[in-house]
Homo-oligomer: A and B are copies of this chain.
C-alpha cells in the first residue's frame, strides 16, 4: 500500500494524497476528507525510510554504549529512548563493547543508517580512535557525549563532577572518624581516573602521602569487588573505609565484609558510586555517590534533539553529583 494506491482509490493524484497526509493547506475540504477516509480504511502508514530519502533525515538516533546491562546505563537508556520517541525519533542502541575495534565498527554501522544524531554514553569511548572515527564518520551530524569529552566542533558534552564527588565522599568518611580509607575498582576509564583523582586529592588534603594510599585495581564485577575486598582485609587491616568505583563492585565488597563478619559501618564504612539499586539491595544498604545518570540522560537527549533540529545549546554541561547516605556510613 503506497500513496499511489490510495491516490488511485480516491481518484486523485499521489501528490494530493501526500499533501493530505502532511496536513498541507490548499486542499478542498471534501477531497481531504475522502482521502483521509481511505487512509484510515486501508490503515495506510507512510514509509518513514522513503520519506527520509527525500527529506534528508531518518528520524533515527544512534546510541552507543559499552554494555546496556550495567544498571546505570540501563536507566539512562530508558530515559533517552522515552524522550526520543516522544519527539518523533527512534533510538538504535548498540552495545559497542569496550574494545576500540568494536567501537569503530559501531560508528560505521550508524553511518550506514544515516542517523540524524548520535549519543555516546560512557567515558570508555573517550579515546583517539573513537574521536577520529567520529570526526571522520559523523562530521555532519550532532553528537552528544554523556560522561565524556571530545573537543570537536559538532560534539556536545554532558559530564558530572565525579572528581569533586569522590572528594566529598572522602570528606564524609573523615567526618565519620574513618581516617584510613582505601579506593577500589576499575582504574582504566577516564571516568575512573577522575574518581581516583578526587580520592587522591582529598586524601592528600587530609595529610596522607600519595605513596602511602591504598588503591586496588579490579574489574567492573561483583566478583572482582569481593576479591579486592578479601585482599584488603588480609593486607590492610588498618583500613576503616572503602570507596568503590562502582556500586556493582561495592556490592561484591559488601558480601566479602559480610562473610568475614566485619561490622558495617562500625568497623568499616563503605561508599559505592552510581547510586543504582544495588546499594539499596545490599545488607546493610550502602551509601552511594549519585552521579545523576537519569538527569544526564534527559539533558543529553534534549540537547541532541535540539541540535538535530537546529537549536543551540552550550557545548558543555556539568552536573553535580550528590551523596546518598545509607547504612554503610
Q: State which of B47, B53, B255 has its C-beta within 8 Å of the C-beta of A114.
A: B47
Q: State which of B49, B52, B90 has its C-beta within 8 Å of the C-beta of A109.
A: B90
Q: Apart from A67-B78, A281-B281, what 8 extra A-B contacts exist at CB < 8 Å?
A: A46-B112, A48-B114, A49-B113, A50-B53, A92-B92, A255-B281, A258-B283, A281-B282
A45 within 8 A of B: yes
9 residue pairs, one from A and one from B, having the closest CB atoms: A283-B283, A49-B49, A48-B112, A281-B281, A45-B111, A45-B112, A74-B74, A69-B78, A90-B92
**49-65 of chain A: CB within 8 A of chain B:** 49-50, 52-53, 58
Minimum CB–CB distance from A230 to chain B (whole Å) comes to 17
Q: State which of B48, B74, B95 has its C-beta within 8 Å of the C-beta of A69.
A: B74
Chain B residues with CB under 8 A of A82? 95
Q: What is the copy number of this chain in the assembly?
A: 2
Chain B residues with CB under 8 A of A280? 222
Beta-carbon contacts of A122-147 to B below 8 Å, as 1s and 0s?
Answer: 00000000000000110000000000
Task: Show 5 A/B contacts (Cβ-Cβ < 8 Å), sorted by A.
Answer: A48-B112, A48-B113, A74-B74, A81-B93, A81-B95
Determine the distance from Cα of A69 to Cα of B258 in the docked complex, in whole angstroms: 28
Chain B residues with CB under 8 A of A137? 43, 45
Determine the distance from Cα of A277 to Cα of B222 in the docked complex, in whole angstroms: 10
Determine the distance from Cα of A282 to Cα of B258 in the docked complex, in whole angstroms: 11
A7 within 8 A of B: no
Q: State which of B52, B85, B108 has its C-beta within 8 Å of the C-beta of A94.
A: B85
Q: State which of B75, B113, B258 has its C-beta within 8 Å of the C-beta of A90.
A: B113
A328 within 8 A of B: no
A251 within 8 A of B: yes
Q: State which of B78, B108, B281 has its C-beta within 8 Å of the C-beta of A278.
A: B281
Contact A281 B222 (CB under 8 A): yes
Contact A45 B108 (CB under 8 A): yes
Determine the distance from Cα of A163 to Cα of B255 in the docked complex, in whole angstroms: 33
A298 within 8 A of B: no
